[in-house]
Amino acid sequence: MEPFIDPAEIWSFLNNARPDKVRVREIISKSLDKQRLTLAETAVLINASSELADEIKEGARELKKKVYGNRIVLFAPLYIGNKCGNNCQYCGFRVTNREARRRTLTNDEIREEVVALEENGQKRLILVYGEHPEYSPEFIADNVRLVYSVKKDRGEIRRVNINAAPMDIDGFRTVKNSGIGTYQIFQETYDPEAYKLYHLGGKKSDYVWRLTSLDRAQEAGIDDVGVGALFGLYDWRFEVMGLVRHANHLEACYNVGPHTISFPRIKDASSLNLNGKYYVSDDDFMKLIAILRLAVPYTGLILTAREGHEVRTEAMAFGVSQIDGGTKLEIGGYSASRNETQDLNREQFRINDERSLADIIDELIENDYIPSFCTACYRLGRTGEHFMEFSVPGFIKRYCTPNAILTLSEYIVDYASPELAAKGWKAIEKNMTGLDDGLKDGLRKKIDRIRNGERDLYY
C-alpha cells in the first residue's frame, strides 16, 4: 500500500489558508450541518486568530451536543505486557531503556486484574501491548476471550478494544474473530522526516507499514478502528491535518471514518530526554480539540488520564466524548494491594488524573453529564458504516441517552455509595424529562428490572 500523506500538500494548505470572520463562520456552519470538513477548511480553522478561537470552541460545543448529547463514555486501559523491540525516544517501554521493569501478565494475573476492574464497575476495556514477538495475534485473541469470560458477581466486561502493534491481514483477522471492539493504532507523527528522528529501531521504524496498518485492518473486516497522534513530536498544526487526512482516507476507501481519534500530549516517562520544541500549550491544545470536533463530526474523541483533571474537564465541554477513569498503568496495578506513588520504570508514561472511577462519575453528574458504559451499538452491529447511518438526528435521544441511563442505573445499583446513588438517580430523572412519553415509560420499566436484578438491558 502506498502512503497517503503528502507533507508538501499539507503545508500548502496551511501556508495558503487565509481565515477571516466570514470564512471561519461559514466553515463552522458547515460542520454544524454534520458535514466532514476538507483539508483546506481545516487549515482555515487552524490559522484562525485567537479572537476567533472562542467562536470555534462554541461551534464545537454546539456540534458535540447535537451528535453526542451530554453523554461521556467511560473505559479503562489494561496493560498486558511491556516487552518491546522498538526504540521510540518518547516511550518508557523503548528497548534501550534499561531501567524499565519488563513484565507480561499470566492468565491468572489477567483474571485478577479483570476482577478488580469489575469490582469498581468497569464495563469497557482497552488492552495495551508493547511490540514484541510474544504478543502475537493468537496471544492477543486468547487474552480477549479470557477477559470476556471473567465474571465477578454482577460484573462483566462487555467491550474489549485493542492498542497493539500493526499486523498483516491474517493477523488482524485472527484478532477480529475473538470479538474485539475497536483496534487502535497511533501514527505518533504524520511527518515522515520527524518520524525517522523518533523511531530509531524495531518494526515501528517503518513509517509506511504503520501508516497503512488500519487499511489492512479494514481488509481483514475490522470496520471499527481508532487513529491518533502524539502531540509534542512535531508541529501540532501539521498533526491535526494528518489526522483529518487519515480520517478522510478511510472514509474514501472504506466508506467509514475512524470510530475514535486520540490526541495525547507527551508526558513524563522513564528516562525521557526530549527538547520540548514542539510541546503544545494548553490554549493550543483546546483549540486543536475543538477543530477536530468540527472536522470529523461523528468521530469519538478520546482524552486519557495523561492529562490532568482541569484540562479534561474543560475539553469535555466542546469536543471530548470518551475518557478513562480509575486508571492504573503499571502491569498488574489494578489488583495490587499497595497504594504507592507512580513508578515510571514500571509504566509507559505518567498519568496526571489519578482520581477513582467513582470520583470521576460523581463529578460528571455534578457537571450535568451522563456517565455511560454503553456497548449496545457494538453488540448489535451498529459499527463502521452502519454506525454512520444511525448517527442522525433523533438517534441520540431514542437510543444513546436511554442506553447511557441504563448503564448508569446498573452502576448505581451495583457499585455506588449512598451519596453517589442519590445524585445518580436525580440525574437520571432530569435526563428523562426530554424523552417521549412512550420511550420514558419503557425506560422506567427497564430500570425497575435492573433494580430487581436483571442486567445488560439496552435498546
**Residues 423, 413: Cα–Cα separation, whole Å:** 12
3-state DSSP helix/strand/coil % of the chain, to nearest 5: 50, 10, 40
* pLDDT of amino acid 395: 64
Burial 89-121 (b: 16+ CB within 10 A, else e): bbbbbbbebeebeebbbeeeebbbbbbbbbebb
* pLDDT of amino acid 270: 54
The structure's pTM equals: 0.94
Q: pLDDT tens for residues 256-272?
A: 899 999 999 987 655 56
* pLDDT of amino acid 100: 80
* pLDDT of amino acid 396: 64
Kindly state the helix (H) or strand (E) to which residue 372 belongs, with its residue range. Answer: strand 370-372
Architecture of domain 70-379: Alpha-Beta Barrel (3.20)
Tell me how far apart the terminal alpha carbons of the chain are, to the nearest angstrom. Answer: 40
Domain limits of the chain?
A: 7-64, 70-379, 393-451
**Residues 455, 247: Cα–Cα separation, whole Å:** 36
* pLDDT of amino acid 336: 81
Nearest to 32 by CA among 261, 295, 241, 284: 295
- Total Cβ atoms within 10 A of residue 386: 14
**Residues 459, 43: Cα–Cα separation, whole Å:** 39
If DSSP codes are grouped into helix, strand and coil, which group holds residue 183?
strand
Nearest to 321 by CA among 300, 290, 291, 307: 300
C-alpha cell at 13: 494548505
**Residues 124, 411: Cα–Cα separation, whole Å:** 13
* pLDDT of amino acid 380: 78
Q: pLDDT tens for residues 340-397?
A: 677 766 767 678 899 999 999 999 999 999 999 999 877 777 665 545 555 554 566 6
Low-confidence ranges of the chain (pLDDT < 50): 386, 393
DSSP 344: G
